Structure 1
Amino acid sequence: MFRRREAVPFAFVAEADRFRSNVTPPPRERPSTSQLASRTLVGLTVVCGLVGSLLFGLPALESGPAAGHTQQSEASHSR
């Protein structure tokens, strides 16, 4: 009926905060030239895609007489 609870030693948690390892991690590898070039190209592709979608999307978002007025003026010039 009653659960037997075992004492959990929390001393190891306190010791873990103070523990400092004397082993240094290996140095990080520097990216190669091809890796830097590919990361740059991917970044430029993403930025150009966002800018392009903004440029092509803004005319579609325009509303009102200004959008219709430009179409009428183009039609009147072609007559």
Structure 2
Amino acid sequence: MFRRRESVPFSFVAESDRFRSNVTPPPRQRPSVSELAGRSLVGLTVIAGLAGALILGLPALSPSQGPAHTEQAEAAQGR
């Protein structure tokens, strides 16, 4: 019911922002050769997929200049 608040010195509160632990994390393990090869193959696959989609998608995005377009224009002019 009744809480007792203990006073905290202001200097302790101010130092809490700069506090660094003296416990160091364990060193990171270096990836093995097979892990590096796998990561590079996955990256190359993703890049190749994006490049392929771009190459295959560009003709579909360009305006058509085919013979159907000229036939429609000639039919409209002949009337």
SS in 2 for 1:21: coil
Residue 51 (structure 1) aligned with residue 51 (structure 2):
yes
Q: Which residue of 1 aligns with 2:17?
A: 17
Gapped runs of 5+ residues in structure 1? 1-5, 70-79
Q: Report the TM-score, using the length of structure 2 for normalisation.
A: 0.62
Gapped runs of 5+ residues in structure 2? 68-79
Instruction: Give aligned-pair identity as a percent.
Output: 66
Shift of 1:18: 2.5
Shift of 1:57: 0.5
Q: Which residue of 2 aligns with 1:76?
A: none
Flag the structure with larger Rg: 2
* RMSD between superposed Cα atoms in Å: 2.1
Q: Which residue of 1 aligns with 2:34?
A: 34
Q: Report the TM-score, using the length of structure 1 for normalisation.
A: 0.62
Residues paired across the two proteins, number: 59
Shift of 1:13: 6.0
Q: Could you list the runs of 4 or more consecutive aligned residues of structure 1 that deviate by over 2 angstroms after TM superposition?
A: 11-16
Distance change >3 Å, CA 54–CA 24, structure 1 → 2: same
